[in-house]
A = this chain, B = another copy of it.
Amino acid sequence: MGEKILLAHGSGSRLSHDLIDRILAPPLNNPILSRMDDSAVFDLSGKIAFTTDSYVVSPIFFPGGDIGRLAVCGTVNDISMSGARPLYISLALIIEEGLELEDLRRVVESIAETAAEAGVIIVTGDTKVVNRGKADRLFINTAGIGLIEGEADISGSNARPGDRIILSGGIGEHGMAVMSKREGLQFNLPITSDCAPLNHLTAAMLAASRRIHSLRDPTRGGLASTLNEFARQSGVGITIEEAKIPVHDGVRGACELLGLDPLYIANEGKLVAVVDPGDADIVLVMKTRIGSSRIVDMPAGEILPRIC
């Protein structure tokens, strides 16, 4: 039996400080974090992007990632979708009493690795522990700050008639990987979460084009929700050609088996860009496979529980 998290690890007591000193601080350490004041302090000037997300994924470890990697990628990606370069991340843990310390250590190490991969640092944090049965092992919140360089004015409300839609890869992999792990499903083709930081990709795209109007990573609600959000925010209609949307064979098979539509399944390492037609090198003009129109509506309810 390994060591477990106790309520006192979250009480501001000596045990809290031990947890920080032994498990949390060493992998994440940097000069800003190590001051250990109530706030991180750094110099920053310009047009700032600021975002937050909580991560409540169950299970906390899944093929292709874990809740820690997800918590860094999700917030790095939200910042990147504003055309910003992500820099500083906050990390707040809500831990259920009884979590194995070893599991927490693995998650924190994954956070450190993913932050290094994305080129961001964790500068401030918080740890709370709640009684057994009052959370689901581990919830993570990250907030992040990025800097918008250059002339980028990226918004879901900037899509214009005639723009092209670019999708960076196959859809539905994260949601189906989590679901298969969660429900103990076995498929012929293994499905791995696409969870990855997208900031290096957006930086390259923004360097290549000044006419990217909208960027978004299609997480909860999938590609369908993202396109609906663009349509709603910009007051435009969007036509898609379903056959041109890449879907990994494993995801397609699993979706067919379970009666799910990959358009509504979460992604954590893909982006959708709305680009001026003159700048759209790779364009996804999507029309329904059967040639007639199909309304890709907002999902009306729950698709997959807690995949983010």
| CB neighbours of A143 from chain B (8 A) | 52, 90, 92, 141, 143
Known interface pairs A90-B143, A91-B52, A92-B141; A38-B300 also in contact (CB < 8 Å): no
* Interface positions of A (Cβ within 8 A of B): 6-8, 10-17, 35-54, 56, 58, 77-79, 81-82, 84, 88, 90-94, 123-126, 128, 130-131, 133-136, 139, 141, 143, 145-146, 148, 154-157, 216-217, 219-222, 225, 229, 233, 266, 298-306, 308
A220 near B303 with CB under 8 A, answer no
| CB neighbours of A46 from chain B (8 A) | 43-45
**How many whole Å from A185's CB to the nearest CB in chain B?**
19
Copies per complex of this chain: 2
Known interface pairs A43-B48, A301-B11; A81-B124 also in contact (CB < 8 Å): no
B126 near A36 with CB under 8 A, answer no
Sample 22 A-B pairs with CB under 8 A, ordered by A number. A7-B305, A11-B304, A11-B305, A12-B299, A14-B298, A16-B221, A38-B51, A38-B216, A39-B50, A39-B81, A41-B48, A42-B50, A52-B92, A52-B141, A54-B94, A56-B134, A94-B94, A128-B308, A131-B136, A131-B305, A133-B133, A145-B145
| CB neighbours of A15 from chain B (8 A) | 300-301
Residue of B nearest to A304 (CB): B11
Give CA–CA (A308, B40) in the complex, Å.
Answer: 20
| CB neighbours of A88 from chain B (8 A) | 50
Q: What 8 pairs between A and B have smallest CB-CB spacing?
A: A12-B221, A12-B220, A143-B143, A45-B45, A52-B90, A39-B49, A141-B141, A39-B82
A54 near B141 with CB under 8 A, answer yes
| CB neighbours of A43 from chain B (8 A) | 46-48
| CB neighbours of A130 from chain B (8 A) | 56, 136, 306
| CB neighbours of A221 from chain B (8 A) | 11-13, 16
**How many whole Å from A52's CB to the nearest CB in chain B?**
4
Give CA–CA (A299, B12) in the complex, Å.
Answer: 8
| CB neighbours of A79 from chain B (8 A) | 38-39
